[in-house]
Amino acid sequence: MRWIGFLLLSVFAAIKPAAAYDPIQFIVYGDLPYSMAGKPVLVSDGRSDQEVFDQDIRPLIHDHPAPFVVHVGDLGRPETSCSDEDLLRHLGYWQGFGKPTFYTIGDNDWIDCIRKTNPGGPKPPLERLAKIRSLLFSDAALASYQRTPPGWTVRRDRGGVRENIAWTTDNPAVAFLTLHIVSSCNGRDTFGKQPCRIVPEPGMDDATRALVEDAADRDRRNIVALREAYAEAESQHRAMLVLVIQADMFGKPADDAKHPADIWERCKTQTEFKPYCDVLPGMASAFSGSTLLIHGDTAAYCLEQLPLDASPKHHFWRLNAPGDFGEIDADVVTIGSGTDGAATVTATGLLSGKPAPAACDRAQYAWRSEDGASRPAYPRKR
């Protein structure tokens, strides 16, 4: 009967994730630099965030041993990021990091280009989205800043969306997926005095109808990619699935009586994000590993754990990355193994060396001016 016991042990080992594994690190930033002519985002030593990015953050990213970089969208304010020149400028940054960079598109980079205040006037959002795909997600562009080291697997066009990218490194514990989910009504907003339009409606103008139909199709494809990612992570016994999006789906203030205190229910009150928050808790709870959702969009910098269910094996973190008008920094994210075998997550400022706050406090980063008085200037590291 010894062979039966050996067989059962082998089967159990095959289905149970490893109790311990080497940690993996990577760098996260986004919404940076946010400076533009006449409206610099300043820190307390008088420098703009563009100067901090050029003088401190970019060199540190290049020299850091982390094997890759994640950009959570918004290459800058729409006034700058809606130009081909700015897209190519950021492409140059990523090529200079000396390690793969995974960028998820932000609303400032295409849908917000419809704003009348942009230099040169409004630009058709879907044309800007097509330009991003051609300049930053062509095979040639990706090969220049997403060079894949031996042992890695990178798969693009997940769910049929060109910019949705799934990848794994040589660390078998973690899998990654970027999803194109943005603010500004998740790519539907025409900045008119009207509510967020989720489905085509009678009398809708052609431009708005095209945006709404494109967003609805992207939602369907994103959820396909999300389901595939969880299924693959389960079949491959991953300890953690990392999801990267731009939008802060939980951005409504918890103390606003119009919105539920429960963070998942609060997300569902935003109709453009409800399809995702309808399915994410269930997928994460069914997954034998943990989930880390990384996003940008708002200035409430934090790494906090979201509730899922009563089971101690289920963990769901969200990292609201530094950048925007708040924390002028990048994060070093470390995923490791706890004593119980469950994944652990830490996020530490690349410049500050400090851990991310454990809860998102919108008021702490509700900047009322651009004088930089409250934004620290971290010690220069070069």
- Say how far apart CA 375 and CA 378 lie, in whole Å: 9
341: confidence class by pLDDT, cuts 50, 70, 90: confident
Q: Would you give the DSSP letter of residue 351?
A: T
16: confidence class by pLDDT, cuts 50, 70, 90: very low
Among 200, 197, 290, 304, which Cα is nearest to 248's?
304
Could you tell me if residue 199 is inside a domain?
yes
230-234, 249-253, 273-277, 357-361 — which is least confidently predicted?
249-253
The reported pLDDT for the residue numbered 273 is 95
Q: Would you give the DSSP letter of residue 89?
A: H
- Say how far apart CA 91 and CA 310 lie, in whole Å: 44
pLDDT in tens, 301-317: 999 999 887 555 668 99
The reported pLDDT for the residue numbered 38 is 72
The reported pLDDT for the residue numbered 323 is 86
Q: Tell me how long the chain is.
A: 382
Among 193, 197, 191, 226, which Cα is nearest to 213's?
197
Between strands 24-29 and 69-71, the pairing is parallel
The reported pLDDT for the residue numbered 200 is 84
User: Residue 189, exposed/middle/buried by CB under 10 A (0-12, 13-18, 19+)?
Assistant: buried
18 pLDDT exceeds 70? no
Domain holding 301: CATH number? 3.60.21
Contact indicator for 180, 218 with CB cutoff of 8 Å: yes
Q: Quick check: helix, strand or coil at residue 285?
A: helix
245 pLDDT exceeds 60? yes
The reported pLDDT for the residue numbered 269 is 87
Q: Into how many domains does the chain fold?
A: 1
Could you tell me if residue 196 is inside a domain?
yes
352's CB contacts (< 8 A; 6+ apart) are: 327, 329, 376, 378
Q: What is the mean pLDDT of residues 41-49?
A: 88
Residue 75: CB atoms within 10 A of its CB come to 28
Rounded-to-5 percentages of helix, strand, coil across the chain = 35, 15, 50
Could you tell me if residue 2 is inside a domain?
no
2: confidence class by pLDDT, cuts 50, 70, 90: very low
Q: What is the mean pLDDT of residues 71-95?
A: 95
Q: Is 46 left (phi over 0), alpha (psi -120 to 50) or beta?
A: left
The reported pLDDT for the residue numbered 8 is 38
Q: Give the residue, 254 or 242, on which the prediction is more confident.
A: 242
The reported pLDDT for the residue numbered 380 is 67
85 pLDDT exceeds 60? yes
Q: Give the residue, 33 or 1, on which the prediction is more confident.
A: 33
Residue with tokens 């970089």: 69
Could you tell me if residue 6 is inside a domain?
no
- Say how far apart CA 105 and CA 370 lie, in whole Å: 25
The reported pLDDT for the residue numbered 20 is 64
Could you tell me if residue 379 is inside a domain?
no
Could you tell me if residue 174 is inside a domain?
yes
- Say how far apart CA 212 and CA 277 lie, in whole Å: 19
44: confidence class by pLDDT, cuts 50, 70, 90: confident
Could you tell me if residue 372 is inside a domain?
no
Residue 205: CB atoms within 10 A of its CB come to 9
Q: What is the mean pLDDT of residues 155-174?
A: 96
15 pLDDT exceeds 50? no
Angle at 162 between CA 156 and CA 163, to 5 degrees: 80
Q: Give the residue, 293 or 192, on which the prediction is more confident.
A: 293
* Mean pLDDT (the chain, rounded): 87
pLDDT in tens, 106-142: 999 999 999 888 888 899 999 999 999 999 999 999 9
Contact indicator for 353, 379 with CB cutoff of 8 Å: no
The structure tokens listed for 10 are: 């082998």
The structure tokens listed for 193 are: 């005095």
The dihedral formed by the CA atoms of 89, 90, 95 and 98, expressed in degrees to the nearest 10: 130
What range defines the domain where residue 196 resides? Answer: 19-365
Could you tell me if residue 377 is inside a domain?
no
Between strands 343-349 and 331-337, the pairing is antiparallel
Q: What is the mean pLDDT of residues 71-85?
A: 93
